[in-house]
Amino acid sequence: MQERRADIIARELEERIFDGTLPAGARLDEVRLAEHFGVSRTPLREALQGLARSGLVELVPRRGAFVRKLGPVELMEMFEVMAELEVVCGRLAAKRISEAALDELRAANARCRAAVEAGDPEAYYAGNERFHGIIYRESGNGFLEGETRALHRRLKPFRRRQLRLRGRMAQSMQEHEAILAALEAGDEAMAAEALRGHVAIQGEKFFCLMSSLKPAAAE
């Protein structure tokens, strides 16, 4: 076998946590999961250890593993960091981006525009993700790219639903145009500011959404 079962299991669990199949706070029963994956508890526990290290799962001694649930404060903090990472990627990319990558960005933006016109949030989301991914890559810093992608991925379940907010897609689209313009001009400061606004607003929107839905989600 090329890959460890533990790795496969880890990715599978990660996916299920991200997509909500395993909801926050859910207890991860070792024997049941092991049975589900058709392995013994050993590789499953190894996977759990890994997930715990990367903060997705909480391991309470003698009590078991739980999907880590993020409180509002921690979530807001993560959105803030996300915005800053995007800013850094954008600033570096403004200096380092290639002409070919600019073309890719234009193409991604074109898809986004089509999605806006079609009123298709799913398609917009996909295009948006592509757009940002290109910027991460063009930061020219692989480590930064990896960290940014990781956090992006982690925040995914909390970001997705916002696109349904009225007018958000169109506004986001305009912001993309501004970001693209800044990158084309190689203007670091402008790219930074455009990105900060574009991403920071997600955190804010998220909190509007959350506080309107759950009066007191404090833990």
Q: Which residues bind a copy of itself (CB under 8 A)?
A: 1-4, 6, 10, 42, 45-47, 49-54, 59, 61, 73-74, 77-78, 80-81, 84, 88, 92, 141-144, 147
Instruction: Please report the sign of the dihedral spanned by the C-alpha atoms of residue 146, residue 148, residue 154, residue 156.
Output: negative
- Closest approach, Cβ 122 to a copy of itself, in A, equals 29
> CB within 8 A of 160, min separation 6: which ones?
125
Name the 3-class secondary structure at 29: coil
Tell which one of 1, 213, 216, 218 touches DNA (CB under 7 A).
1
Q: Which of 19, 13, 18 is nearest to 65 (CA)?
A: 13
Tell which one of 15, 19, 29, 74 touches DNA (CB under 7 A).
29
Q: Which is nearer to a copy of itself, 70 or 123 (CB)?
A: 70
40 interacts with, out of DNA, a copy of itself, none, CB within 5 to 8 A per kind: DNA
> CB within 8 A of 150, min separation 6: which ones?
54
Task: Please report whether residue 30 would count as binding DNA according to CB under 7 A.
Answer: yes
Tell which one of 26, 39, 70, 201 touches DNA (CB under 7 A).
39
CA 173, CA 119: separation in Å to the nearest integer? 12
* Contact present, 176 and 198 (Cβ < 8 Å): yes
Q: Which is nearer to DNA, 34 or 200 (CB)?
A: 34
CA 209, CA 166: separation in Å to the nearest integer? 12
Residue reference for tokens 């092991």: 34
- Closest approach, Cβ 42 to a copy of itself, in A, equals 7
In single-letter form, the type of residue at position 71 comes to: G
Task: Please report whether residue 6 would count as binding DNA according to CB under 7 A.
Answer: yes
Which chain residues interact with DNA by CB under 7 A? 1, 4-6, 27-31, 38-43, 45-46, 59, 61-65
